Amino acid sequence: MLPGAVVLAGGRGTRFWPLSRRARPKQVIDLTGQGTLLACTLARLDGLVAPEQRLVVTGPDMEAVVRPECGGASVLVEPTARNTLPAIAYGVWEAARRGAEAVIVLPSDHHVADPACLDAALRNALGEAESGALVTLGVRPTRAETGFGWIEAGAGGEVVRFVEKPPRAVAEALLAGGRHLWNAGIFVFRVDAFRAALVRRAPGTAAALAALDAGAPLAEAWALTEATSLDYAVMERHDHVRVVPLDCGWSDVGSWPALDEVLSPREGGVGVAADVVAIDSSHNLFHAEGKLLALVGVRDLIVVSTPDAVLVAHRDESQRLRELLQALDEAGLVRYT
């Protein structure tokens, strides 16, 4: 099967302020010193999906910053943000129009430590998808994470159920049971199987693709779609879903502390800086690209320096960045958000 790829690049990544802004979302910033997350995602498709079959879906307010990171991939601009189902369906429709028989769906803002391992898992998933199954990749869990969805894998790789962001006690039980994987939001399926599933599970979106087939303008077809996620509308309700395990050093890089998982230790903690001098300092997380960072007598801090803003926060308070952005808006400091 000739594969295409749909890369979702519509998120904002506000939990990485001040590096990530409304006009410069997480996927187009370099958090690790290895390139932007979007550029790295596309590079991981080398040898698997031809550049002309790579489609990046983003919103109209992000097109200008997303496009330069796409290399030989094409950019599809959704008329409005309506969650992942319409974005993926639009990408699948365009991929099929270009000759793709199967599609790989990837988030644009994740980190993978072992790209070769991901490549092998995606090839395995393409093989599983030949049966007509909708396939998802499930990350082998390393902790009782409450911020992720989980997938229960049955015998032979069939999905038994999806568990959405469980409370701590449930997450600990899922981890201990050994049958559950994290939902990474990575999908593989045949184009015809996906469209058949839409007819059954998301008829509005199926009608939207039929309208595009008939030559309707995108905005007109877009209004027919269900504004929901692929997981909720299709994957959690479909009766032929399989999961392929993934153990490749995956991280969703969801907040500043997640960089602990993807960056090598440095003096005083972990992070990006030209040079670091630390005196009696440890377990800090920092991003001061091109600068000397001096740490004296501090622990458990997040320190982020950009040309126009500096963030200093305790590690345990990283989830309050949305609260901070709201405070900036209320203070009339929207230019910093």
pLDDT tens profile 168-193: 999 999 999 999 999 999 999 999 99
pLDDT digits (tens, 9 = 90+) for 271-280: 999 999 999 9
Residues 6 or more apart in contact with residue 36 via CB below 8 angstroms: 27, 28, 29, 30, 69
DSSP secondary structure letters along 129-144: HTTT-EEEEEEPPSS-
**In which band, very low, low, confident or very high, does the pLDDT at 31 lie, cut at 50, 70 and 90?**
confident
Could you tell me which residue, 31 or 201, shows the higher pLDDT? Answer: 201
Tokens 């905005």: give the residue: 219
Whole-angstrom distance, CA of residue 315 vs CA of residue 282: 12
Domain 3-251 of CATH type 3.40.50.720: no
pLDDT at 191: 98
pLDDT at 196: 98
Residues 6 or more apart in contact with residue 42 via CB below 8 angstroms: 7, 54, 56, 69, 70, 71, 73
Rounded alpha-carbon distances, angstroms, from residue 179 to 135, 136, 188:
17, 15, 21
| CA distance between the termini of the chain | 44
pLDDT at 13: 64
Whole-angstrom distance, CA of residue 14 vs CA of residue 208: 31
Span 78-105, average pLDDT: 97
pLDDT digits (tens, 9 = 90+) for 213-256: 999 999 999 999 999 999 999 999 999 999 999 999 999 998 89
**In which band, very low, low, confident or very high, does the pLDDT at 155 lie, cut at 50, 70 and 90?**
confident
pLDDT at 12: 72
pLDDT digits (tens, 9 = 90+) for 68-82: 999 999 999 999 999
210: buried, middle or exposed (CB in 10 Å: 19+, 13-18, 0-12)?
middle
Look up residue 203 and give its amino acid. P
pTM: 0.92
User: 84-97 and 191-201 helices cross at what angle (nearest 10)?
Assistant: 140
Whole-angstrom distance, CA of residue 26 vs CA of residue 38: 9
Instruction: Assign residue 165 a region (left: φ > 0; alpha: ψ between -120 and 50; beta: otherwise).
Output: left
What percent of the chain clears pLDDT 70, i.e. is strictly above it? Answer: 100
**In which band, very low, low, confident or very high, does the pLDDT at 6 lie, cut at 50, 70 and 90?**
very high
What residues does each domain of the chain span? 3-251, 256-336
Whole-angstrom distance, CA of residue 304 vs CA of residue 293: 10
Whole-angstrom distance, CA of residue 94 vs CA of residue 101: 11
Whole-angstrom distance, CA of residue 244 vs CA of residue 222: 31
* Pairing state between β 180-190 and 150-153: antiparallel
SS3 242: strand
pLDDT at 14: 77
Residues 6 or more apart in contact with residue 261 via CB below 8 angstroms: 111, 249, 251
User: 84-97 and 203-213 helices cross at what angle (nearest 10)?
Assistant: 30
pLDDT at 40: 96
SS3 311: strand
Q: In this predicted structure, which of 84-88, 207-211, 252-256, 275-279 has the lowest mean pLDDT?
A: 252-256
Q: Within a 13 Å sphere around the CA of 57, how many CA atoms are in the beta-carbon half?
A: 25
